[in-house]
Amino acid sequence: MTAIALPRGAALFERNARAHRSHFLVILSGFFEPLFYLLSMGVGLGHFVGKVPGPNGELISYASFIAPALLATAAMNGAIYDSSSVFWRMKYMRLYDAVLATPLGPRDVAVGETAWALFRGLLYAIAFLITVAVLGLVESPWAVLALPAALLVGFAFAGMGMAGATFMRTWQDFEFVNLIQLPMFLFSATFYPLSVYPGWLQIVVRCTPLYNAISLIRGLMLGVVGWYQGVNVVYLVAFGAIGMSIAGRRIGKLLLT
């Protein structure tokens, strides 16, 4: 099934790429939010914070600590923003009604839209990683794997973001996306170590997708790689796969009934 879905889903990916050609700079706009956080908090506030403990307990600069977290956030933002636009294409643009009149099926739509959202997240990650490297915040050769890791992060959030979009009824429902996304951003060890939380809250945070994304990329960029990064990879693959499965079924149910 997957071998058939991928080429057909690529047609929808190409459609989205052509549709965004005239406003390509808008696609990169989501890159600036984590960049501003890095410059204001990592560089600005970091001057007063000084050194903080890294994943292995070694002291590192505050900017080096939050840069991997913001890279993961950039990948998440790109994936969620575009996968959520499935709501517009399905409810108002009626794009998928036309798509399903072709040989493409609901699973092909899920694959194509996830691939496009993943690509957008990857663009954010590339731009942000280049900026981090220019600022001298890359601490390890393992950082070369940060881009594939960001691609995995994009897959995880694109799949689940698109699944969530199929449950939305009005534009007001997007407030629930912010209600989930903002606390994850603030409390997933983005700006301070996990050890500052009480024990029970540490367990909750470890179960969130953004924490697993941050843990994976932070370990790679700081050169602290171990078995726990394997756990992060498995978590993100499962998270994205579940989201894509839900999205495929929901799109079929909404458009074929």
How many domains is the chain built from?
Answer: 1
- Interval 177-206 mean pLDDT: 86
3 pLDDT above the threshold of 70? no
Q: Strand, coil or helix: what is 137?
A: coil
Question: Tell me: the pLDDT tens digits for 160-170?
Answer: 888 888 887 77
**Candidate ranges 60-64, 98-102, 205-209; pick with highest mean pLDDT:** 205-209
Question: Tell me: the pLDDT tens digits for 116-139?
Answer: 777 777 777 787 888 888 878 777
- Interval 190-205 mean pLDDT: 87
Best CA proximity match to 247, nearest among 79, 101, 123, 93:
79
Q: Do 156 and 243 touch, CB atoms closer than 8 A?
A: yes
Q: Which residues contact 115 (CB under 8 A, 6 or more apart)?
A: 9, 10, 13
212 pLDDT above the threshold of 60? yes
231 pLDDT above the threshold of 90? yes
DSSP assignment string, 109-134:
HHHHHHHHHHHHHHHHHHHHHHHHHH
- Interval 23-42 mean pLDDT: 68
Q: What is the mean pLDDT of the chain?
A: 79
Question: Tell me: the pLDDT tens digits for 93-111?
Answer: 777 777 777 777 777 777 7
- Interval 167-179 mean pLDDT: 77
Q: Between residues 230 and 86, which one has the greater pLDDT? A: 230
1 pLDDT above the threshold of 50? no
Q: Between residues 186 and 112, which one has the greater pLDDT? A: 186
d(CA 239, CA 233): 10
* Domain of 151, in residue numbers: 2-255
238 pLDDT above the threshold of 80? yes
d(CA 66, CA 189): 9
Q: Give the rounded percent of residues in the chain with a pLDDT score beyond 70.
A: 85
Task: Please give the helix or strand (H or E) that residue 98 lies within, else none.
Answer: helix 95-99
- Interval 38-50 mean pLDDT: 72
